[in-house]
A and B are shown apart, each in its own frame.
Chain A
């Protein structure tokens, strides 16, 4: 599915915003504070049920308003070869293909309501399969720079997208780990550990094996896409999986846990296991997390997000929608060209930028440009036609 039309009401600085979207690259242009990122955020609120920028969704509601609303018209990918306006107007008769309006309302009281064509949805995960969204926000750089938690989460999301049993394994592992750690904190290192270590060993070996298998497929794809972004200047980035329980069978794994009980008890947590796994980004022998430059880290992350989308597209045949916030300003001329070329090959994407000059004349031909005028912070009602103009 692709997004054909989006309508926001009272999302951050947007009292009312309505615009069509093209099936390929869309560029949201506007000055600082014009609400470019908020448009991407609104898409996430609707299709993912959360905001990548904040945990408190109430922060996204315009000041002085009691609720926000986002409506997105989703149309099947194949029926959108025409320009966006026609696609939107004519989508109803698009050869019997089903279009859906995905809408969400968030109240300041914390209530939320997801609907599909007006029918209330019990769960917000309805769209995750139909219209998966992958985002790049500048804050996401923590994935590269920060602690290993986010990298494990990234890996887990990647695997779960095509292996539903994996998420169950991870859940069972986490629970068993909590039980064992509770024993350790109580200073117990007796036979009570046996059943939990058994479960940890069984799920732990499965998790490590699945993660390693997934990375064996993903890492070459990543190296390839990263290579295209950097025009092959470097020798190629390598994703290295780090685990302290690699290559063990269940029995060996259990023995290690049993041997480490006393030490773990002093630490009050379990030392060995996939809950301590990490991924390293190695570029020409340098660990990017520790010694990478800003630009290298950004490019590494951008490559990661593009590769993840590619990987999902390959396994589910649904192309994720890419939302890239302010990527252009951080890239040099060659990398910008490479990124736009990569995006042009992919599915639908929405990119925000302060300046259209980041795009070449001939690239703009194939791009849907959405201009946001200066912020409407005065709170006066702005008619949608005034607020945005469209040039395709």
Chain B
């Protein structure tokens, strides 16, 4: 029960309910779960190139020759890749940082995969970096840091560093939008 309660989003009550559920179900239903957990921990590892989750040396995106090799989308966590892949809008590569800069928590550039990103920019034929870190303070600081570190490449004209637009959610009413989102959406407006 204590082990279940350690999981994110699971409180003591849910942990208790899950425990009693597992006690009740037949062995053949409970064992696959146990095996799945063992399997994930034994076979899953990080892609050597982009730090996405994979069972092999390189992840599925990096292995796919049809992906656009000139664009890298930088995200904080592997789960962010799933969100972007669901849009079917993006055909380039990824780079997972494994977090965001946060001096207060002692997380500097050396603690996340930033150096590896800069090495990829040098080694690969990259033309654009899309910095898709979270739109919170730490994510923004990380994005600014990346942009600052790549100013030389940008100035030489061989690289673009971009950030996804911040704006209004589709199908939403203006009157319910918060001031900051609406303000950003207005300042980032485009021609029709």
Taking a contact as CB atoms under 8 Å apart, the answer to whether A165 and B180 are in contact is: yes
CB pair B148 A195 closer than 8 Å:
yes
**In the bound complex, do residue B145 and residue A194 qualify as a contact, i.e. CB atoms below 8 Å apart?**
yes
With an 8 A cutoff between CB atoms, is B98 at the interface? no
Q: Is the interface of B mostly helix, strand, loop or mixed?
A: helix
Segment of A5-13, A82-90, A108-116, A175-183 engaged in the interface with chain B: A175-183
Please tell me if the beta carbons of B103 and A196 are within 8 angstroms of each other in the complex: yes
List 17 A-B pairs, Cβ < 8 Å.
A164-B179, A165-B183, A172-B137, A179-B102, A179-B141, A180-B103, A182-B103, A182-B104, A183-B103, A188-B108, A191-B149, A192-B101, A194-B144, A195-B142, A195-B143, A196-B103, A199-B141
The residues in A between 75 and 99 inclusive whose CB is less than 8 angstroms from any CB of B are none
Tell me whether B109 is interfacial, beta carbon within 8 Å.
Answer: yes
CB nearest neighbor in B for A168:
B180
Q: Is A198 an interface residue (CB 8 A)?
A: yes
Which residues of the partner chain A approach B149 to less than 8 Å between Cβ atoms? 191
B: interface residue count bin:
10 to 19
Complex interface residues of chain A between 159 and 209 (CB less than 8 A to chain B): 164-165, 168, 172, 175-176, 178-180, 182-183, 186, 188, 191-192, 194-196, 198-199
Contacts of B109 in A (CB 8 A): 192
Shortest distance from the beta carbon of A237 to any chain B beta carbon, whole Å: 34
Q: Which residue of B lies closest to A180 (CB)?
A: B103
Q: Which residue of B lies closest to A176 (CB)?
A: B137
The CA-CA distance from A195 to B180 in the complex, in Å, is 20
Output the residue of A165, A179, A180, A199 with the most chain B CB within 10 A: A179
Minimum C-beta distance from A200 to chain B (A): 10
Cα A180 to Cα B138 in complex, Å, equals 12
Interface bits B86-104 vs A (CB < 8 Å: 1, else 0): 0000000000000001111
What CA separation (Å) do A85 and B111 show in the bound complex? 68
Residues of A within 8 A of B (CB): 164-165, 168, 172, 175-176, 178-180, 182-183, 186, 188, 191-192, 194-196, 198-199
Please measure, in the bound complex, the distance between the C-alpha atom of A179 and the C-alpha atom of B109, giving whole angstroms.
Answer: 13
A164 to chain B, nearest CB (A): 6
List of B residues within 8 angstroms of A178 by Cβ: 104
The reply to whether B148 and A194 form a contact with Cβ atoms under 8 Å apart is yes
- Decide: B141 and A176 in contact? CB cutoff 8 A: yes
Contacts of A186 in B (CB 8 A): 103
Which B residues are in CB contact (< 8 Å) with A165? Answer: 179-180, 183
- Report the Cα distance A195→B109, complex, angstroms: 12
17 additional A-B pairs beyond A175-B137, A182-B103, A192-B109, beta carbons within 8 Å, are: A164-B179, A172-B137, A176-B137, A176-B141, A179-B102, A179-B137, A179-B141, A186-B103, A188-B108, A191-B145, A194-B144, A195-B141, A195-B143, A195-B148, A198-B141, A199-B137, A199-B144
B137 to chain A: closest residue by CB: A175
Chain A residues near B102 (CB-CB < 8 A): 179
| Residues A195 and B144 in contact in the complex (CB < 8 Å), given A165-B179, A172-B137 | yes
B 130-146 binary contact with A (CB < 8 Å = 1; else 0): 00000001001111110
Closest to A194 in B: B148
**A168 to B179 alpha-carbon distance, docked (Å):** 10
Cβ of A185 to closest chain B Cβ, rounded Å: 9
Chain B residue nearest in CB terms to A185: B103
Contact present for B104 and A198 (CB under 8 Å) = no
* CB proximity to A under 8 Å, residues B152-192: 179-180, 183
CB closest chain-B residue, reference A198: B144
